[in-house]
Amino acid sequence: MSNRQQRLAARSFERKGLKGDWGLWRVTNLPDGIPGGNGWCKEVRHAQANNLYVVLIRPFLDEKGNPVVHLAIRTASNLEPPWRDMQRIKNEICGEEATAIQVMPPLSELVDEADMYHMWVLDDRLPFTLAYRRAA
């Protein structure tokens, strides 16, 4: 299959996925990280893919020893996932009651080498939420 045919096939899957038909998640175990990868890519332990998204999954412990799961998300055509899809990915991979955050890092820590979107799923809830309101 040529690169053009691969792109057309990926876009066809993507159009179906954008209508909510993602298909089943396929899991690939990566006990040694992504082959040929470096940095955090060596810490990825498995990937899940469906008809629309590929999610790299990197579990690690934060500085206090708390478990965190880093999800790196992308589509075949580098589509920016809408919020509802990011929520669905978090729910399906880590659970509906899991708390996840996306980070806009300081410029000195920015890594922008691929059109990937990241979220970090925490073991605990944040000290704030949209449901919690307290007068200032």
Nearest to 44 by CA among 53, 31, 54: 31
The dihedral through the CA atoms of 62, 68, 74, 79 has a sign that is: negative
- In this structure, is residue 63 part of a structural domain? yes
Least confident of 36-40, 86-90, 99-103: 36-40
Contacts 24+ apart (CB under 8 A), 37-40: 40/70
Q: How many domains does the chain have?
A: 1
Q: Which amino acid is at 103?
A: V
User: Domain range holding 105?
Assistant: 3-122
- In this structure, is residue 78 part of a structural domain? yes
- In this structure, is residue 128 part of a structural domain? no
- In this structure, is residue 77 part of a structural domain? yes
- In this structure, is residue 134 part of a structural domain? no
- Residue 89: the pLDDT is 96
- Residue 133: the pLDDT is 63
Query: Mean of the pLDDT values across residues 112-134?
Result: 80
- In this structure, is residue 132 part of a structural domain? no
Average pLDDT, the chain: 86
In the predicted structure, residue 17 carries a pLDDT above the cut 70: no
- In this structure, is residue 136 part of a structural domain? no
Tens-digit pLDDT profile for residues 35-77 = 988 888 899 999 999 988 999 999 999 999 999 999 999 987 7
In the predicted structure, residue 91 carries a pLDDT above the cut 90: yes
